[in-house]
Amino acid sequence: MRQETAVDGFRLAYERTGAEPGRPAVLMLHGWPGDRTDYTAVASPVSAVADVIVPDLRGFGESDKHDADPGAQYNAVAQARSLVAPIEELGLARPVLVGYDIGSRIAQAIARDRPDLVRALVIAPPLPGIGDRILQPGAQREFWYQAFHQLELCTELIDGHRDAVRDYLRHFWSHWSGPGYEPASRHLDHLVSVYGQPGAFAASIAWYRAGAGSVAASLTERVPAPDRRIAVPTTVLWPEYDPLFPREWSDRIGDFFAAARLTWLDDAGHFSPVEAPDAYAAAITAAIADTRGAI
């Protein structure tokens, strides 16, 4: 399916399952380097009780990709604009927003700026509260790619070169995941098919070129006043083995969220909806149950 109304010239592709009258809605937002298939194993059980919509974000998968100013068209606020449109277009009554990686940042942006549209959040890192800890040597050894993505050399070496795309993406899917997880060849084949097209990899890293990556976001964050915290009920799923976001960085969630519940995802790494789909599905259905009637 494709979004009918373009926003800033972008139309999103999405999958929808479980659509039945009266059901609560769930909108699932993927990460980098992934696409809407990140939630395949989560969407199936959740669609038994909810209307589930899983889009490709701007610049990803089958959604539109434009050579546009990253700072204006690919940051969290711009990505959020593209998602508010299908919420309204499809008549979704305050969906639960689910996100990890960049999808988490975008879900938070919607909940912060349009809380009237959101029933609850179910999110994994990144979250605010990291601050300048992201400059620690150990963290910078992990976040090197965000500076690399700013260089034209990055796209010259990778964009449109399918073998390079495969090697680059395989590094992250292997290194960021938990012990015992290794991306299947079929999964990598799919990612290469969408990231390996000319211009696709460049579009995917426009998020970082917009200054929306965790390094830039963490260094500019400010603790809001209590009445400016994200107010919608929030479930935070924090993986055990995410090399980007160690669990000790979860200590300041309460400074940014008015009603957040922290849940550990044992044995999972950064790609948490792929690695722990049952836990995700359970958290989403619990969020639906806890907020039933909040329309």
- Catalytic positions are 101, 208, 270
What's the token pair of residue 35? 């696409």
DSSP secondary structure letters along the chain: -B-SS-BTTB--BEEEE---TT--EEEEE--TT--GGGGHHHHHHHTTTSEEEEEPPTTSTTS------HHHHSSHHHHHHHHHHHHHHTT--SPEEEE-THHHHHHHHHHHH-GGG-SEEEE-S--TT-GGGGGSHHHHHHTHHHHHTTSHHHHHHHTT-HHHHHHHHHHHHHHSSPTT----HHHHHHHHHHHSSTTHHHHHTHHHHTT-SHHHHHHH--PPPGGGSB-S-EEEEEESS-SSS-GGGGTTGGGTBSSEEEEEETT--S-HHHH-HHHHHHHHHHHHHHTTT--
Q: Are 117 and 110 in contact (CB under 8 A)?
A: yes
Q: Residue 131 corresponds to which amino acid?
A: G
